[in-house]
Chain A
Amino acid sequence: TQLLEQSPQFLSIQEGENLTVYCNSSSVFSSLQWYRQEPGEGPVLLVTVVTGGEVKKLKRLTFQFGDARKDSSLHITAAQPGDTGLYLCAARAGGYNKLIFGAGTRLAVHP
């Protein structure tokens, strides 16, 4: 079983629509990160959330960390084709504070 469950796995929407991606776990994390990855490239860090209930905004992206620090969400407002990519949540677990990734949500925004 995955430590981090992401949903949905795939999302295909039209430009201008809103969407929310979820990242859930039964474990409590000291922090959680969201990454975006484009084909053939490494993941790029979007945000780190640390405090339970925290909300962070990055232009049209809104990130929320659950009060219990077990889950997080990413909301995109008025999606654009440039938002297309693989969105990954990640958290530290185990020895060496290894960064473990969720399965990812593959987003396609059509013009």
Chain B
Amino acid sequence: GAVVSQHPSWVICKSGTSVKIECRSLDFQATTMFWYRQFPKQSLMLMATSNEGSKATYEQGVEKDKFLINHASLTLSTLTVTSAHPEDSSFYICSARDQAGATVNTQYFGPGTRLTVL
């Protein structure tokens, strides 16, 4: 099946620094990618929808200036957590929607990135 990768798989940073997380669709093109956040023992909460070549759409309560999303190509979306604080520590998961072929509109999930802010 289709593969979505994330990099890094985990990152530890100091409070106040910025962290960039990459999401790549490895064998399909994705006009639309999604970013989720998952706190311990909780479900996935959608943060934003990333569209190639246009601005991301953020869910209510998600600060767009803090979580910068760039979807520069059909296979890459990045999430930058700016001025990270300990409360931003979480498991960030991206998902990419297949645009064509037999699995059109199927959404594939990456393995997640564990962010710990000290």
Interface on A for B, CB 8 Å cutoff?
35, 40-45, 86, 88, 95-104, 106
Contacts and interface: CB of A to CB of B under 8 A. Distances in A.
B67 interface: no
A101 B109 CA distance: 13
Nearest to A103: B43
Interface of B: 4, 32, 34, 36, 41-46, 49, 51, 57, 91, 93, 95, 105-107, 109-112, 114
B112 A97 contact: no
B32 A96 contact: yes
A50 B83 CA distance: 43
B49 A100 contact: no
Given A99-B46, A100-B46, A43 B109 contact: yes
23 contacts: A35-B109, A40-B91, A40-B112, A41-B111, A42-B4, A43-B44, A45-B106, A86-B43, A88-B43, A88-B44, A96-B49, A96-B57, A97-B105, A98-B46, A99-B34, A99-B46, A99-B107, A101-B36, A101-B43, A101-B46, A102-B43, A103-B43, A104-B42
